[in-house]
Amino acid sequence: MAKITLTTLNKMKASREKFSVLTSYDATFSHVVSNAGIEAILVGDSLGMVLQGHDSTLPVTLEAMVYHTECVSRGNQGALIIADMPFMSFANPEMTLLNAAKLMAVGANIVKLEGGAWLKDTVQQLNRNGIPCCIHMGLTPQSVNVFGGYKVQGRGGAAAQLLADAEQLAEAGAALFVLECVPSPLAKQITERVNVPVIGIGAGPDTDGQVLVLHDMLGISPGKPARFVKNFLAEADSIPAAIKAFALAVKSGTYPAEEHGFQE
Protein backbone atom coordinates (compact mmCIF):
# COMPACT_ATOMS: atom_id res chain seq x y z
CA MET A 1 0.00 0.00 0.00
CA ALA A 2 1.22 3.50 -0.82
CA LYS A 3 2.11 5.46 2.31
CA ILE A 4 -0.93 7.19 3.78
CA THR A 5 -0.45 10.71 5.13
CA LEU A 6 -2.68 13.47 6.43
CA THR A 7 -2.65 14.89 2.91
CA THR A 8 -4.10 11.57 1.69
CA LEU A 9 -6.97 11.73 4.18
CA ASN A 10 -7.68 15.38 3.38
CA LYS A 11 -7.88 14.55 -0.32
CA MET A 12 -10.23 11.67 0.47
CA LYS A 13 -12.49 13.99 2.45
CA ALA A 14 -12.51 16.49 -0.41
CA SER A 15 -13.46 13.79 -2.91
CA ARG A 16 -16.01 12.21 -0.50
CA GLU A 17 -14.09 8.95 -0.43
CA LYS A 18 -14.53 7.05 2.82
CA PHE A 19 -11.55 5.67 4.73
CA SER A 20 -11.17 3.02 7.43
CA VAL A 21 -9.28 2.92 10.72
CA LEU A 22 -8.61 -0.04 13.03
CA THR A 23 -6.83 -0.33 16.33
CA SER A 24 -3.67 -2.40 16.52
CA TYR A 25 -1.22 -2.91 19.34
CA ASP A 26 1.57 -5.11 17.96
CA ALA A 27 3.77 -5.64 14.92
CA THR A 28 2.00 -8.72 13.56
CA PHE A 29 -1.48 -7.25 13.51
CA SER A 30 -0.27 -3.91 12.20
CA HIS A 31 1.33 -5.77 9.29
CA VAL A 32 -1.96 -7.57 8.57
CA VAL A 33 -4.11 -4.47 9.02
CA SER A 34 -1.98 -2.19 6.86
CA ASN A 35 -1.82 -4.80 4.09
CA ALA A 36 -5.61 -5.20 4.10
CA GLY A 37 -6.37 -1.70 2.81
CA ILE A 38 -6.89 0.06 6.15
CA GLU A 39 -5.76 3.65 5.80
CA ALA A 40 -4.94 4.39 9.44
CA ILE A 41 -3.99 2.41 12.54
CA LEU A 42 -5.01 3.67 15.96
CA VAL A 43 -2.72 2.56 18.76
CA GLY A 44 -5.52 3.04 21.25
CA ASP A 45 -5.43 3.23 25.01
CA SER A 46 -8.20 0.64 24.58
CA LEU A 47 -5.27 -1.72 25.03
CA GLY A 48 -5.89 -1.27 28.74
CA MET A 49 -9.11 -3.20 28.35
CA VAL A 50 -8.47 -5.62 25.46
CA LEU A 51 -4.85 -6.50 26.27
CA GLN A 52 -4.34 -5.70 29.95
CA GLY A 53 -7.76 -6.72 31.27
CA HIS A 54 -8.69 -3.48 33.02
CA ASP A 55 -12.31 -2.29 33.14
CA SER A 56 -11.41 1.14 31.73
CA THR A 57 -8.60 2.92 29.90
CA LEU A 58 -7.55 4.93 32.95
CA PRO A 59 -4.70 2.68 34.19
CA VAL A 60 -2.82 2.83 30.87
CA THR A 61 0.56 4.53 31.21
CA LEU A 62 2.51 6.63 28.76
CA GLU A 63 5.26 3.99 28.87
CA ALA A 64 2.78 1.36 27.69
CA MET A 65 1.63 3.60 24.84
CA VAL A 66 5.22 4.27 23.77
CA TYR A 67 6.01 0.53 23.81
CA HIS A 68 2.96 -0.49 21.77
CA THR A 69 3.35 2.39 19.31
CA GLU A 70 6.92 1.28 18.63
CA CYS A 71 5.75 -2.31 18.08
CA VAL A 72 3.04 -1.17 15.66
CA SER A 73 5.47 1.04 13.78
CA ARG A 74 7.81 -1.91 13.16
CA GLY A 75 5.09 -3.98 11.50
CA ASN A 76 3.30 -1.19 9.66
CA GLN A 77 3.26 -1.23 5.85
CA GLY A 78 2.28 2.35 5.04
CA ALA A 79 -0.80 3.10 7.14
CA LEU A 80 -1.02 6.37 9.06
CA ILE A 81 -0.30 5.75 12.76
CA ILE A 82 -2.39 7.59 15.35
CA ALA A 83 -1.27 7.11 18.97
CA ASP A 84 -3.40 7.83 22.01
CA MET A 85 -2.24 10.17 24.76
CA PRO A 86 -3.26 8.25 27.90
CA PHE A 87 -5.12 9.55 30.95
CA MET A 88 -3.51 12.62 32.56
CA SER A 89 -0.63 12.75 30.06
CA PHE A 90 -1.87 16.03 28.53
CA ALA A 91 -3.03 18.06 31.54
CA ASN A 92 -1.25 21.19 30.26
CA PRO A 93 0.43 22.22 26.99
CA GLU A 94 3.99 21.79 28.28
CA MET A 95 3.38 18.29 29.62
CA THR A 96 1.56 17.35 26.41
CA LEU A 97 4.44 18.49 24.23
CA LEU A 98 7.00 16.40 26.11
CA ASN A 99 4.81 13.29 26.17
CA ALA A 100 3.67 13.62 22.55
CA ALA A 101 7.31 13.88 21.46
CA LYS A 102 7.97 10.45 22.99
CA LEU A 103 5.18 8.91 20.91
CA MET A 104 6.29 10.64 17.72
CA ALA A 105 9.88 9.49 18.28
CA VAL A 106 8.86 5.81 18.12
CA GLY A 107 6.71 6.06 15.00
CA ALA A 108 3.43 7.88 15.62
CA ASN A 109 2.35 10.24 12.85
CA ILE A 110 -0.40 11.89 14.92
CA VAL A 111 -1.27 11.95 18.62
CA LYS A 112 -4.87 11.72 19.84
CA LEU A 113 -6.24 13.64 22.82
CA GLU A 114 -9.67 13.44 24.45
CA GLY A 115 -11.44 16.70 25.24
CA GLY A 116 -13.10 19.87 24.03
CA ALA A 117 -12.36 23.53 23.39
CA TRP A 118 -10.14 23.71 26.48
CA LEU A 119 -7.50 21.96 24.36
CA LYS A 120 -7.09 24.92 21.97
CA ASP A 121 -3.82 26.15 23.49
CA THR A 122 -2.46 22.61 23.49
CA VAL A 123 -3.37 22.10 19.83
CA GLN A 124 -1.58 25.31 18.90
CA GLN A 125 1.48 24.37 20.96
CA LEU A 126 1.70 20.96 19.30
CA ASN A 127 1.33 22.47 15.83
CA ARG A 128 4.09 24.99 16.48
CA ASN A 129 6.37 22.06 17.23
CA GLY A 130 5.41 19.93 14.22
CA ILE A 131 3.12 17.49 16.01
CA PRO A 132 -0.31 17.05 14.39
CA CYS A 133 -3.15 16.02 16.67
CA CYS A 134 -6.50 14.29 16.53
CA ILE A 135 -9.20 15.37 18.98
CA HIS A 136 -11.53 12.69 20.38
CA MET A 137 -14.94 14.12 21.27
CA GLY A 138 -18.36 12.87 22.35
CA LEU A 139 -18.04 9.81 24.56
CA THR A 140 -14.45 10.17 25.75
CA PRO A 141 -13.61 7.00 27.71
CA GLN A 142 -11.05 8.73 29.93
CA SER A 143 -13.94 10.80 31.33
CA VAL A 144 -16.11 7.79 32.16
CA ASN A 145 -16.29 8.79 35.84
CA VAL A 146 -17.51 12.27 34.95
CA PHE A 147 -20.16 10.90 32.58
CA GLY A 148 -21.29 8.26 35.06
CA GLY A 149 -20.75 5.46 32.57
CA TYR A 150 -20.48 4.88 28.83
CA LYS A 151 -23.37 6.99 27.53
CA VAL A 152 -24.28 8.71 24.27
CA GLN A 153 -23.12 12.34 24.28
CA GLY A 154 -24.31 15.42 22.39
CA ARG A 155 -28.04 15.04 22.77
CA GLY A 156 -30.37 17.98 23.33
CA GLY A 157 -28.70 21.20 24.40
CA ALA A 158 -25.26 19.57 24.48
CA ALA A 159 -25.23 19.28 20.68
CA ALA A 160 -24.59 22.98 20.08
CA GLN A 161 -21.65 22.95 22.51
CA LEU A 162 -20.08 19.92 20.86
CA LEU A 163 -20.36 21.55 17.45
CA ALA A 164 -18.92 24.84 18.73
CA ASP A 165 -16.00 23.03 20.36
CA ALA A 166 -15.21 21.15 17.15
CA GLU A 167 -15.24 24.37 15.12
CA GLN A 168 -12.93 26.12 17.61
CA LEU A 169 -10.50 23.22 17.66
CA ALA A 170 -10.44 22.98 13.87
CA GLU A 171 -9.65 26.67 13.74
CA ALA A 172 -6.87 26.14 16.29
CA GLY A 173 -5.31 23.54 13.99
CA ALA A 174 -6.64 20.10 14.89
CA ALA A 175 -5.73 17.74 12.06
CA LEU A 176 -8.40 15.07 12.68
CA PHE A 177 -11.42 14.38 14.85
CA VAL A 178 -12.86 11.21 16.33
CA LEU A 179 -16.54 11.35 17.29
CA GLU A 180 -17.67 8.53 19.55
CA CYS A 181 -21.27 7.71 20.45
CA VAL A 182 -22.88 10.94 19.28
CA PRO A 183 -26.21 11.18 17.42
CA SER A 184 -25.82 10.54 13.71
CA PRO A 185 -27.35 13.90 12.64
CA LEU A 186 -24.90 15.80 14.87
CA ALA A 187 -21.94 13.84 13.53
CA LYS A 188 -23.05 14.67 9.99
CA GLN A 189 -23.29 18.36 10.87
CA ILE A 190 -19.83 18.45 12.45
CA THR A 191 -18.31 16.57 9.50
CA GLU A 192 -19.75 19.14 7.11
CA ARG A 193 -18.70 22.15 9.21
CA VAL A 194 -15.03 21.35 9.87
CA ASN A 195 -12.46 21.32 7.08
CA VAL A 196 -10.49 18.29 8.35
CA PRO A 197 -11.35 14.58 8.28
CA VAL A 198 -13.76 13.25 10.90
CA ILE A 199 -13.67 9.62 12.04
CA GLY A 200 -16.75 8.08 13.59
CA ILE A 201 -17.39 5.24 16.01
CA GLY A 202 -21.05 4.92 16.88
CA ALA A 203 -21.57 8.23 15.08
CA GLY A 204 -23.53 7.16 12.02
CA PRO A 205 -22.62 6.78 8.34
CA ASP A 206 -21.82 10.38 7.38
CA THR A 207 -18.39 10.88 8.90
CA ASP A 208 -15.38 10.76 6.57
CA GLY A 209 -13.95 7.61 8.16
CA GLN A 210 -14.89 4.82 10.53
CA VAL A 211 -12.90 3.21 13.33
CA LEU A 212 -13.44 0.05 15.36
CA VAL A 213 -11.44 -1.78 17.99
CA LEU A 214 -9.81 -4.74 16.23
CA HIS A 215 -10.94 -7.26 18.83
CA ASP A 216 -14.53 -5.99 18.58
CA MET A 217 -14.81 -6.31 14.81
CA LEU A 218 -13.36 -9.82 15.03
CA GLY A 219 -16.01 -10.75 17.59
CA ILE A 220 -13.52 -11.88 20.24
CA SER A 221 -14.03 -9.20 22.90
CA PRO A 222 -15.74 -10.55 26.04
CA GLY A 223 -19.18 -9.32 27.03
CA LYS A 224 -22.01 -7.84 25.02
CA PRO A 225 -20.81 -5.85 22.00
CA ALA A 226 -21.66 -2.17 21.72
CA ARG A 227 -24.51 -1.20 19.41
CA PHE A 228 -22.15 0.14 16.76
CA VAL A 229 -20.01 -3.02 16.54
CA LYS A 230 -20.30 -5.51 13.70
CA ASN A 231 -18.53 -8.89 13.76
CA PHE A 232 -16.83 -9.06 10.37
CA LEU A 233 -15.18 -12.42 11.09
CA ALA A 234 -18.59 -14.10 11.25
CA GLU A 235 -18.86 -13.97 7.46
CA ALA A 236 -15.18 -14.34 6.57
CA ASP A 237 -12.88 -17.34 6.39
CA SER A 238 -9.85 -15.66 7.97
CA ILE A 239 -8.78 -12.63 9.99
CA PRO A 240 -7.20 -10.88 6.97
CA ALA A 241 -10.42 -11.47 5.00
CA ALA A 242 -12.50 -9.99 7.84
CA ILE A 243 -10.31 -6.89 7.97
CA LYS A 244 -10.57 -6.47 4.19
CA ALA A 245 -14.36 -6.85 4.46
CA PHE A 246 -14.45 -4.05 7.04
CA ALA A 247 -12.40 -1.78 4.78
CA LEU A 248 -14.64 -2.51 1.79
CA ALA A 249 -17.85 -2.04 3.81
CA VAL A 250 -16.69 1.39 4.98
CA LYS A 251 -15.59 2.34 1.46
CA SER A 252 -18.91 1.28 -0.07
CA GLY A 253 -21.03 2.83 2.67
CA THR A 254 -22.66 -0.42 3.74
CA TYR A 255 -21.13 -0.06 7.21
CA PRO A 256 -22.21 1.48 9.47
CA ALA A 257 -25.90 0.87 8.82
CA GLU A 258 -28.70 2.81 10.47
CA GLU A 259 -28.95 0.33 13.33
CA HIS A 260 -25.33 1.00 14.31
CA GLY A 261 -26.00 4.67 15.11
CA PHE A 262 -27.91 6.81 17.60
CA GLN A 263 -30.59 9.45 17.14
CA GLU A 264 -31.03 12.79 18.87
Active centre residues (catalytic):
180
Is 208 among the annotated ligand-binding positions? no
Is 112 among the annotated ligand-binding positions? yes
DSSP state of 143: G
Is 45 among the annotated ligand-binding positions? yes
24 to 33, 126, 196, 258: CA distances (angstroms): 8, 24, 23, 26
What are residue 179's phi and psi, to 5 degrees? -110, 120
CA 179/CA 102 separation, integer angstroms: 25
Is 46 among the annotated ligand-binding positions? yes
32 to 28, 78, 182, 215, 219: CA distances (angstroms): 6, 11, 30, 14, 17
Is 143 among the annotated ligand-binding positions? no
String of DSSP letters for 224-259: PPPTT---SGGG-SSHHHHHHHHHHHHHHT-SS-GG
Q: What counts of helices (H) and strands (E) characterise the chain?
A: 11, 8
Listed in sequence order, the residues at least 6 apart from 100 whose beta carbon sits closer than 8 Å to its beta carbon are 85, 90, 111, 126, 131, 133
Listed in sequence order, the residues at least 6 apart from 111 whose beta carbon sits closer than 8 Å to its beta carbon are 82, 83, 84, 85, 100, 103, 104, 126, 131, 132, 133, 134
Please state the residue numbers annotated as binding site: 45-46, 84, 112, 114
Please state the residue numbers annotated as binding site for 3-methyl-2-oxobutanoate: 45-46, 84, 112
Please state the residue numbers annotated as binding site for Mg(2+): 45, 84, 114
